[in-house]
Structure 1
Amino acid sequence: MDGLDKKILEMLKINARESFANIGKNVGLSAPAIGKRVRQLEDDGVIEGYALKVNHEKLGIETKAYITLVMHQGLSGRPNVLDKIREMEEVQSCDRITGDDCLCVLGYFKNNKHLIAFLEKMSQYGATKTSIILEV
């Protein structure tokens, strides 16, 4: 990967739908040359996919929170527990972490009442600590 690839990646991070022609104008290459480089970055696993940015407030999401979980004894080694948590519709990401906590969950909720119901579901797996996101 060279400097041109890094510039291409920076532009795609800002707008994953940017045209190859526009990227080419900015880095001094033709659209087909940009396409070839992007396909190579995809083939090499540097680009793993493209994401959609959603305005969650317009979908009725009022509350976002980070929730850490200290799992009950004996549950932390069970992969199916982690899968069950990751499959919950509110969970945007779920990471195993080091330290006193076992997991860090990013969740999106319609409102605080919805968050409370989610925390009650999570209590079957262990003790939670919640930090509500005020601003991104």
Structure 2
Amino acid sequence: MLKTNARESFANIGKEVGLSAPAIGKRVRQMEDEGIIEGYALKVNHEKLGIETKAYITLVMHREARGASDALEKIHAMEEVRRCDRITGDDCLCILGYFKNNRHLIAFLERISQYGATKTSIILEV
């Protein structure tokens, strides 16, 4: 239930699973203390903020590039990037990016082209 709504009350969770609110609170705190629950996230409607284009972009590093770690750090810091992972296979990085429109996406691709060759897949529907 917390995965669906992290703000759900312990009382409501308790009713659903047959435990008291204090028992649920104790279990949640224990999971937080043990690192099972690492945090709580905010869900944002990006379309209402003007984000029209979302894309997965894979990057194959240039041989002369200084290294994937350096590129990963710099690319991850870019405001358009929501996620940047080092991956196995022919590609080195997989980037999830959010963009105002396709022109914004093109500008982003031009900025990261210094690190290597990209392949872009625009997300049509989640």
- After TM superposition, the score normalised by the length of structure 2 is 0.96
Identity %: 83
User: Do structure 1's residue 25 and structure 2's residue 9 form an aligned pair?
Assistant: no
> Whole-Å Cα distance in 2 between the matches of residues 74 and 28 of structure 1?
60
What 5-or-longer segments of structure 1 have no aligned partner? 1-10
**Contact persistence 2:68–2:92 (CA under 8 A):** no
> Whole-Å Cα distance in 2 between the matches of residues 44 and 74 of structure 1?
43
User: Do structure 1's residue 12 and structure 2's residue 24 form an aligned pair?
Assistant: no
What 5-or-longer segments of structure 2 have no aligned partner? none
Task: Note the C-alpha offset of 1:73.
Answer: 1.4
Moved over 4 A (4+): none
How many residues were matched structurally?
126
Superposed, 1:46-85 pairs within 5 Å as: 46-75=36-65, 77-85=67-75
> Whole-Å Cα distance in 1 between the matches of residues 66 and 4 of structure 2?
37
What RMSD in Å do the two structures reach over aligned CA positions?
1.1
**Contact persistence 1:76–1:102 (CA under 8 A):** no
Task: Note the C-alpha offset of 1:81.
Answer: 2.1
Greater per-residue helix proportion: 1
Amino acid at match of 1:52: L
> Whole-Å Cα distance in 1 between the matches of residues 22 and 76 of structure 2?
39
Structure 1 residues 78 and 101 mapped into 2: Cα distance closer, same or farther (>3 Å)?
closer
